[in-house]
């Protein structure tokens, strides 16, 4: 079995990947590979599909479904645009011909979908000083895939993204400029957009270099969270630009949002009493594992579609993981709707099981 890179063009033909912006598809293409499997082999004998979206790009694959029936999926057809086993789970597989597959981590895809939908995709950057949902392009370094998965923003509550982007201020920084100084009172939180910084601390009277920060890295949060003084000095080692958030906004927007969360059992009770399931994923995700009676409004459309909802009715909002639905529930609540967040999303209870809501 061998692996090659997959192109962004190929990924664009898959669902729900085709809804991602061009920049996100490019990032994703750099992270995934084409997997070549020879005829007569089971491509899932060593590694199944749990936690992954697996697509058949080329060749013919026989699947034995869990009800005992069988089907053949052919690469390049309409059916192959969707993840294998998502519509009908299978118990066994065999390559009828040599085949090509691509596997994408579900959590990675959900992170990308969350930020891409909320950020407005590939909209052009403006010359405004503060980032907004309308000039998302200037934030692509700060919100790169790696930073969304493991960096400063990996734990950011998506419900606060819109307000957060509005309150960041973009400031230029010169080489040699000390952005924060050890011993000072904390006042701002920073994220590096471009350029590099160096972190130093005084230990036993000597200056010790602790780290070097690059685009997407954040600093200044420790003093804001603890209320203590700065414990290090951060100095620019190149010219660059920073995004800055003041202490008040940091405390308000980078803490666990005040959302009305409900468990699956609580959500079922609300729906039984007249509440409406509201699925905020892409339509191509919604069609395969929607909850009974749910309506679909992708989170990117919530702002415009909210006026069509009934202000007197309760809505239980969900997605795969809770990322997109937390943002949607927050946006609805801001507009006066009775929105409740299904805690953990579909993955939080009986994973991808529509029957869980019956």
Q: What is the pLDDT of residues 168-227, one digit of tens each?
A: 888 999 999 999 999 999 999 898 888 999 999 888 889 899 889 998 787 887 787 667
d(CA 100, CA 193): 38
Half-sphere exposure of residue 26: CA atoms within 13 angstroms, side-chain side: 7
d(CA 250, CA 245): 6
Under DSSP, is residue 286 helix (H, G, I), strand (E, B) or coil? Answer: helix
Residues in the chain: 358
CB 342 within 8 A of CB 297: no
Would you place residue 128 in the very low, low, confident or very high pLDDT band (cuts 50, 70, 90)?
A: very low
d(CA 137, CA 132): 10
Would you place residue 155 in the very low, low, confident or very high pLDDT band (cuts 50, 70, 90)?
A: low
| Residue 143: predicted pLDDT | 60
CB 180 within 8 A of CB 233: yes
Class of domain 261-357: alpha beta
The reply to whether 197 belongs to the active site is: no
What's the mean pLDDT in 338-352?
80
Q: Of 56, 90, 46, 50, nearest to 76 (Cα)?
A: 56
CATH architecture of the domain formed by 123-253: Sandwich (2.60)
| Residue 62: predicted pLDDT | 96
CATH architecture of the domain formed by 2-105: Sandwich (2.60)
| Chain centroid offset of residue 24 CA | 11
What's the mean pLDDT in 291-303?
90
Q: Which residues contact 296 (CB under 8 A, 6 or more apart)?
A: 279, 280, 281, 283, 286, 290
Would you place residue 93 in the very low, low, confident or very high pLDDT band (cuts 50, 70, 90)?
A: very high
d(CA 16, CA 112): 11
Angle at 74 between CA 70 and CA 78, to 5 degrees: 105
Strands, DSSP E only, in the chain? 2-5, 33-37, 52-58, 60-65, 70-74, 90-95, 99-105, 169-173, 178-180, 188-194, 197-203, 206-213, 218-219, 233-236, 240-246, 261-262, 276-279, 295-296, 314-318, 338-342
What's the mean pLDDT in 124-141?
44
Put simply, whether the predicted model's pTM sits higher than 0.75 gets the answer: no
| Residue 286: predicted pLDDT | 96
Q: Exactly one of 319, 331, 342, 357 is catalytic; name it.
A: 319
Domains 2-105 and 123-253 share a fold: yes
Q: Where are the domains positioned within the chain? A: 2-105, 123-253, 261-357
Percent helix, strand, coil in the chain, to 5, is 30, 30, 40
| Residue 114: predicted pLDDT | 78
Provide the percentage of residues in the chain whose pLDDT is more than 70.
81
Q: Running DSSP on this structure, what letter comes out for residue 320? A: S
């Amino acid at each position: 079995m061998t692996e090659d890179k997959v192109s962004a063009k190929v990924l664009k033909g898959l669902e729900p990947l085709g809804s991602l912006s061009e920049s996100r598809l490019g990032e994703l293409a750099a992270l995934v590979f084409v997997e070549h499997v020879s005829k007569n082999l089971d491509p899932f004998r060593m590694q199944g599909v749990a936690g992954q979206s697996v697509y058949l790009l080329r060749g013919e694959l026989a699947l034995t479904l869990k009800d005992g029936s069988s089907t053949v999926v052919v690469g390049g057809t309409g059916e192959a645009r969707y993840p294998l086993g998502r519509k009908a789970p299978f118990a066994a597989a065999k390559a009828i011909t040599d085949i090509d597959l691509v596997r994408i981590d579900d959590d990675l895809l959900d992170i990308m979908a969350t930020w891409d939908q909320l950020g407005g995709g590939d909209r052009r950057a403006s010359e405004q000083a503060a980032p907004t949902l309308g000039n998302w392009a200037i934030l692509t370094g700060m919100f790169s895939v790696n930073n969304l998965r493991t960096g400063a923003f990996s734990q950011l509550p998506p419900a606060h993204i819109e307000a957060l982007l509005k309150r960041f201020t973009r400031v230029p920084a010169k080489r040699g400029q000390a952005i924060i100084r050890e011993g000072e009172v904390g006042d701002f939180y920073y994220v590096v957009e471009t350029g590099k910084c160096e972190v130093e601390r005084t230990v036993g009277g000597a200056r010790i270099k602790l780290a070097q920060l690059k685009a997407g890295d954040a600093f200044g949060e420790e003093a804001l969270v603890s209320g203590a003084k700065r414990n290090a000095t951060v100095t620019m080692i190149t010219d660059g630009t920073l995004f800055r958030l003041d202490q008040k906004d940091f405390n308000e927007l980078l803490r666990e949002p005040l959302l009305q969360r409900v468990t699956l059992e609580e959500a079922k009770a609300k729906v039984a009493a007249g509440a409406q399931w509201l699925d905020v994923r892409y339509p191509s995700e919604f069609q395969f594992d929607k909850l009974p009676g749910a309506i679909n409004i992708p989170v990117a459309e919530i702002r415009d579609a909210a006026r069509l909802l009934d202000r007197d009715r309760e809505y239980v909002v969900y997605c795969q993981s809770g990322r997109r639905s937390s943002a949607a529930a927050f946006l609805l609540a801001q507009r006066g709707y009775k929105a409740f967040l299904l805690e953990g999303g579909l993955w939080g209870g009986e994973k991808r099981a529509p029957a869980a809501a019956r």
